[in-house]
Structure 1
């Protein structure tokens, strides 16, 4: 597979017209969207939609608030990028937007184009934490990967498909696709259309740590 895939954002906004507009703006920039009017609906959609990012108003007209929703979903999915799109004054959101680490705040009053929304999402996603992991000194090309990503890369090096990786890790294929895409990005193997990023990533792994044994055979 290539490193290209469609990213997903869950949009939570109690004003119907704005909710539709935001989804349309993001769809124009290639994002797949799901929309919810409140936190309860967003929570129901979350597991089914499996978003990469959450874009929510802070005041949803009912409880839980957007901030409470973001805190809850971030606990369930640490990879989740969070963008608050709100009429709140920036100062009221706090230095850490509503107490959420690495969340991005965008004022509705300052919103000008779909590019503003996409830029905020990119900032939120690029700031996700990457746990440190010890790897051999000879494996420097893999130094940016988390332990989980190294495990997925090992299975790629065995020649496993995403379906096989999902089954072995008790995960969904979509979650594996997300991990594989991030691995390719971190290894920088997606720039040359003439080279399969899967082969290039496997080659880097094998060069760093040696042959990967396929225990499934």
Structure 2
């Protein structure tokens, strides 16, 4: 490889500590990194700098998700490589279209060699590749239920979730009940289902070590 050629990577995560960690390690590994904390700024940076690859978290907080960002960027530049950080396998409808894609567990990003290998694979293959990620119970939830669960994990009560999502309280209560059913928490008579659901979400998304 030409020693003057520097591969560029855009890192997208709404948790600054993760982008800072990855940027430092990738810079030390010879990459040039750009950082964004939401889908809108990521798209703007990508259009301006045309990175070779994008590493994006599945859950970007408010606004478009990591899969929606990847679909948008792939439509602009099909040759761009993508690494999606997640701890559950997205469905085909969530993923939409991206020819050079790798799934990578957020638990694996502390091993920089694993991240570099993932980037190498999506920059060179020109075809979709997938990591070895085991589906979790989160894959049983709809996109709307995941959004409700994300707010539960942030500590919002049902009334606050209803206001946040601009829906009725009854609709939120029904969603919460279906989330408990899907996660099989209705079978657990001990402890708080709400705390347990929040912990499952945190573990599944790789947030803060899965602590409730």
Q: TM-score, normalised by structure 2?
A: 0.55
Q: CA contact under 8 A between 1:97 and 1:103: conserved in structure 2?
A: no
Sort the Cα spacing of 1:76 and 1:125 in 2 relative to 1 into closer, same or farther, 3 A: same
Aligned with 1:106 (options 104, 107, 128)? 104
What's the counterpart of residue 42 of structure 1?
42
CA deviations on 1:156-182 (whole Å, 9 max, x unpaired) are xxxxxxxxxxxxxxxxxxxxxxxxxxx
The within-5 A match list for 1:111-150 is 111-128=109-126
Unaligned runs of at least 5 residues, structure 2 = 128-212
Sort the Cα spacing of 1:31 and 1:96 in 2 relative to 1 into closer, same or farther, 3 A: farther
Distance 2:65 2:93 in 1: 16
> What RMSD in Å do the two structures reach over aligned CA positions?
2.3
Q: Aligned to 1:10, what secondary structure does the other structure show?
A: strand
Distance 1:85 1:93 in 2: 11
Q: CA contact under 8 A between 1:23 and 1:33: conserved in structure 2?
A: yes
Please report how far the alpha carbon of residue 111 of structure 1 lies from its aligned counterpart in structure 2 after TM superposition.
Answer: 3.0
Distance 2:25 2:103 in 1: 18
What's the counterpart of residue 8 of structure 2?
8
CA deviations on 1:180-214 (whole Å, 9 max, x unpaired) are xxxxxxxxxxxxxxxxxxxxxxxxxxxxxxxxxxx
Distance 2:110 2:37 in 1: 22
Distance 1:97 1:105 in 2: 13
Sort the Cα spacing of 1:96 and 1:104 in 2 relative to 1 into closer, same or farther, 3 A: farther
CA deviations on 1:112-159 (whole Å, 9 max, x unpaired) are 421111100011111215xxxxxxxxxxxxxxxxxxxxxxxxxxxxxx
| Structure with higher RCO (Cα < 8 A, 6+ apart) | 1
Distance 2:93 2:101 in 1: 7
